[in-house]
A = this chain, B = another copy of it.
Amino acid sequence: MAKLAVLGHGVVGSGTVELFLKNKDKINKRAGIDLELGYVLDIRDFPGLPYSDKFTKDINDILNDDEVTVVAEVMGGVHPAFEFVLSCLNKGKSVCTSNKELVAKKGAELLKAAKEHNCNFMFEASTGGAIPIIRPIHRCLAANDITAYAGILNGTTNFILTKMITEKMSFEDALKMAQELGYAERNPAADVEGADACRKICILSSLIFGKHVYPDWVHCEGITKLTLEDVAYAKSWGGAVKLIGSVKRTEDGKILPMVAPRFVCGGCQLSNIDDVFNGIMVFGDGFDQVMFYGRGAGKLPTASAVLGDVIECAKHNITILSQMWEDSEDNSFISDYKEDVVSMYVRVNGVSKSEIAKLFGDCEYITREEQPESELAFITPALPEKDIDEKLSSFGDMVLGRIRLLEL
């Protein structure tokens, strides 16, 4: 018999306990394991639950119980989650987490501790919520050279964009609705400014390259500056504006991670992913492309992913080396996004087509309803971004908006 300890009894923590207890017999039978709920760590009291006797406020109860072989860390935040997780790993207890901030900021260190103590640090739930993504890449697609990821990694911003697109709601109104529905925090910065998606792209980038990619090294733009005009032009162009986290290998042997709004064409599966759903496309040499779609957040969906890892750890208490990366000394392997060749949607006011043609040659123009006579929107040819910057700088304040196209 082995014991599971759950650190934190918030939304995801209580969901993890609930789903585990509901399906415990099936899980144990199916996976050929014998796992019991041992402890739930929380500073609060939760009387009246069927498992109230499992609560503790002292991490040492868990650390000192040798029967605890697997720990689910679902507290969120870096401290004290980091200290708790490190202590567990140092005791040889595997840890499964949904905490993307912890993985993005401390992943290399925790993976190293797991390896040293012959246990696992797993984090399927940290990226894409319920969607299986980490393990499929490292198991099912293990025979491939992965070349790129691109995904909708944040449900809150996708909900806001969906409202802007389908109901012409302003960013501010859509954000307010997301807050009322509980999708967005009262302080929505981590979502709408892209930090949450950035943490997830750091995790995927670290996996693809084998070296830790820290959030500070990733160019990150949110959706706060998006206007209904941009959204309308994207629709008329035949696609949609989506907040895309992406990483690709570049020709110089580096990688280019980025989080930014993108014009996504209608033929791309990502353009059809609406509301709070997430979707992640993966590209590789053998399988070409696959996409994983589902709920990227929420109580039971996230619990489902945490428990998938818990079962794996309970079954195989040896370090899974394929899901490892090392710490990195510097960011010299991160490519400069200004050198990347992109096409851009550009919206200008008071500029003529002949002036645009002088800079960019023949361009595709897009129109929208109620388009002012002085306004033009066009798609630039594919150029290094710094060249587009330079050309557009001559238009100064007449540039009202610009969004990169997603080209896969």
A132 to B140, CA, bound (A): 6
- When all copies of this chain in the complex are counted, the total is 2
Residue A20 lies at the interface, judged by CB distance under 8 Å to chain B: yes
Least CB distance, A323 to chain B, in whole angstroms: 10
A130 surroundings in chain B (CB, below 8 A): 141, 286-288, 290
- Chain B residues, CB < 8 A from A30: 138, 142, 321-322
A294 close to chain B: CB less than 8 A = yes
The answer to whether A108 has its CB under 8 Å from any CB of chain B is: no
B322 and A304 contacting across the interface, CB-CB below 8 Å: no
The interface-forming segment of A307-315, A334-342, A352-360 is: A307-315
Contact B27 A311 (CB under 8 A): no
Q: Is A295 an interface residue (CB 8 A)?
A: yes
- A189 adjacent to chain B (CB < 8 Å): no
CB distance from A239 to the nearest CB of B (A): 13
Q: How far is the CB of A110 from chain B (nearest CB, A)?
A: 20
The residues of B that contact A312 with a CB separation of less than 8 Å are: 139
CB-based nearest B residue for A287: B130
A79 at the interface (CB under 8 A from B): no
Cβ A303 vs Cβ B23 within 8 A: no
Distance to closest chain B CB from A321 (angstroms): 5
A162 to chain B, nearest CB (A): 12
Contact of A131 with B by CB under 8 A:
yes
> Is A269 part of the contact surface with B, judged by Cβ < 8 Å?
yes
B300 touches A288 (CB 8 A): yes
Contact at B285–A142, with CB atoms within 8 Å?
no
Chain A window 134-166, contacts with chain B (Cβ cutoff 8 Å), 1 for yes, 0 for no: 011011111111000000000000000000000
On A, residues with C-beta under 8 Å from B are 15, 19-20, 22-23, 26-27, 30-32, 124, 130-132, 135-136, 138-145, 269, 272-273, 284-295, 298, 300-301, 303-305, 307-308, 310-312, 316, 321-322
